[in-house]
């Protein structure tokens, strides 16, 4: 009986179903756009509040919080890139905050209570399109960094230590960020499905520890993605393997 109940509950989950907007003949992933705008607002509003009237000695909570966040992101970038980290802090910081807040919203907010015509709201990072987009942005950034620093001599690395490794070296540059995207997508999706199933089965007590664990795991996933993105950019700029 328990297995039958579990099967029915899992069958009711809208895994793989999405809500789309039709705009000029193109299908836009509506639920990802909605929650992504919420995440962007959660980044921009505190940033505006912190920088609208800055003081050399912070006098408001928002400026204190923002300085802590900036210093933390700077430490991530500096540890991976060395002395040339400063120009990459905005990208690494945006990447880290977007993933972190997306993951937290997925872990904390009961999106299933908001009904859509089809599909359901969820963290943007539990959709493979979002995580692959983040991976592609990382790829473009470290190609840009390598070309900016070393010009077309950047492509010499694909022939080292021997031209025979050219296909492997090219493939490696594309698979590294893509592996990050699949890891992030898989972990966030699995966490949300676990919380949803447990909420349907035992709606009061059991999901709480899982949600706390999911919050911690979500933070780690954001840190891993941002740290490895910084490492890849640093490797591209400095020319190390």
What is the Cα–Cα distance from 126 to 184, expressed in whole angstroms? 8
Total domains in the chain come to 1
Residue 10: its pLDDT value, please? 40
Find the Cα–Cα–Cα–Cα dihedral 165, 170, 173, 179, rounded to 10°. -90
Residue 177: its pLDDT value, please? 74
Most trustworthy range by pLDDT among 106-110, 152-156, 182-186, 202-206: 182-186
Range of the domain at 64: 2-238
What is the Cα–Cα distance from 183 to 195, expressed in whole angstroms? 18
Average model confidence (pLDDT) across the chain: 76
Q: pTM of the full predicted structure?
A: 0.78
What is the Cα–Cα distance from 64 to 27, expressed in whole angstroms? 41
More confident residue, 176 or 130: 130
């Amino acid at each position: 009986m328990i297995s039958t109940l579990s099967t029915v509950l899992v069958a009711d989950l809208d895994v793989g179903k999405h809500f789309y907007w039709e705009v000029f003949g193109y299908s836009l992933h509506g639920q990802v756009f909605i929650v992504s705008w919420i995440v962007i607002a959660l980044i921009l509003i505190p940033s505006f509040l912190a920088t609208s009237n800055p003081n050399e000695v912070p006098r408001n909570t928002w400026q204190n919080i923002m300085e802590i966040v900036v210093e933390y992101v700077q430490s991530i970038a500096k540890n991976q890139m060395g002395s040339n980290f400063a120009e990459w802090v905005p990208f690494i910081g945006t990447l880290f905050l977007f993933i972190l807040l997306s993951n937290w919203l997925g872990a904390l907010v009961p999106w299933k209570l908001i009904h859509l015509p089809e599909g359901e709201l969820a963290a943007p990072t539990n959709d493979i399109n979002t995580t692959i987009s983040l991976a592609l942005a990382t790829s473009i950034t470290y190609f840009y960094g390598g070309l900016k620093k070393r010009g077309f001599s950047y492509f010499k690395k694909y022939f080292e230590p021997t031209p025979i490794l050219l296909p492997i070296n090219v493939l490696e540059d594309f698979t590294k960020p893509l592996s990050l995207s699949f890891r992030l997508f898989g972990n966030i999706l699995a966490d949300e499905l676990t919380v949803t199933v447990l909420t349907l089965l035992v709606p009061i007590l059991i999901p709480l520890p899982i949600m706390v664990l999911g919050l911690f795991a979500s933070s780690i996933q954001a840190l891993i993605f941002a740290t490895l993105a910084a490492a890849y950019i640093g490797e591209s700029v400095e020319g190390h393997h």
